[in-house]
Amino acid sequence: MKILVVGVGYWGPNVVRNLVDFPEVESIGISDLDPAKAAKMVAKFPRTHVAKPAPEAFADGYDAAIIVTPVDSHAALAEAALSAGMHVLVEKPLTRTVDEAKRLIAKADEVGKRLMVGHVFHYKPEVRALVDLVKSGELGTVKYLDSVRVNLGLFRSDVNVLWDLAPHDLTIFEAVLGKQPVRVSAIGAKHVVHPTTPQETMVYMTLDYGDGTLGHVHVNWYSPVKQRLMMVGGDKKMAVYDDINTAEPIRVYDCGTYDAVADTPTYPALRTGDVHIPKIKQEEPLKVQLREFFSSIQEGRAPQTDGNAGLRVVRILEAAMKSLEQDGVFVTLD
């Protein structure tokens, strides 16, 4: 296959680095508004060449396009690539609006091409381990998910911290729970002055799944420390996923409360037991994601994180933005 990578700013170079390891990738065109960035990639990686600027490059016979540009450009570039007969992988979030996401899904169906969104956390071995824990029943019924994703920067002017960081958590929540929230609430603040386009730098988002299950996401660009911590509370056991702790990313705690009727007359009676650290085989999630993209093309099927997966995340983000504008009132998801 001949692959076109559009955008080699922050994340694009990682895409190129992984692409060269796939034997089915015959050549890699690199398209960027800054020709010097494209030339730098070509000098570093084999089987690469400088491509024309997009969308002009879409007419040059590539089989697939990987779009790694600011989110406001995703919809137009992806639609043009699909119209040119290319399979398309778009970095997260898929689009800026629900309507744009729906149009891309319809266009991909119309032309018979694969549309995939880069929800890279879906492909992390640690997340798959969390999903397996839940599916096995070891944690029992999940009652809540609580995530903290904070650091100092990177401050962006095109999107706020919610659109930048929260898609990772929403991807994980969906994988773990296998369902969507029915309503969402969000409050935030703009703690850093920007000369032209002020954006929220801190957001707290609550997701109500309608059955007593709650999700909570705290994202922040203005933190003195970097944290990537998620708690999954089950009624049998609980798990903590620390994405920064590469040696022991997941701990499973045999703790909680006793059944007030069946186990003990005293309530609440706390129960504490062993801590289990599962062994997780590591593989770079971006490589797994690209492998899924190519497999979906070769097998003629939808990828695991297809356009509809991207639409579901954008729908939540769009509702959360409405809540932000209304001081945190719950907004029902359509």
| Helix, coil or strand: residue 175 | helix
Confidence of residue 266 (pLDDT cuts 50, 70, 90): low
Average pLDDT of span 50-57: 96
Which tens digits make up the pLDDT trace of 188-212?
A: 999 998 878 889 999 999 999 999 9
Compute how many other C-beta atoms are within 10 angstroms of the C-beta atom of residue 308.
14
Mean pLDDT computed over 204-231: 97
Dihedral angle, C-alpha 23, 24, 26, 30, nearest 10 °: -90
Q: How confident is residue 72, by pLDDT bands cut at 50, 70 and 90?
A: very high
Q: Can you tell me which residue has the tokens 């119209």? A: 83
Calculate Rg over the CA atoms of the chain: 21
CA distance 328 to 324: 5
Q: What is the pLDDT of residue 195?
A: 77
Give yes or no for a contact between 133 and 252, defined as CB atoms under 8 angstroms apart. yes
The confidence score (pLDDT) of residue 261 equals 62
The encoded tokens of residue 72 equal 């406001």
- Domain residue spans in the chain? 2-119, 122-284+316-325
From 3.30.360.10, 3.40.47.10, 3.30.830.10, 3.90.850.10, which CATH number describes the 122-284+316-325 domain? Answer: 3.30.360.10
* Interval 65-85 mean pLDDT: 98
Do domains 2-119 and 122-284+316-325 share one topology? The answer is: no
Q: CATH assignment of 2-119?
A: 3.40.50.720
H or E element at residue 231: strand 222-234
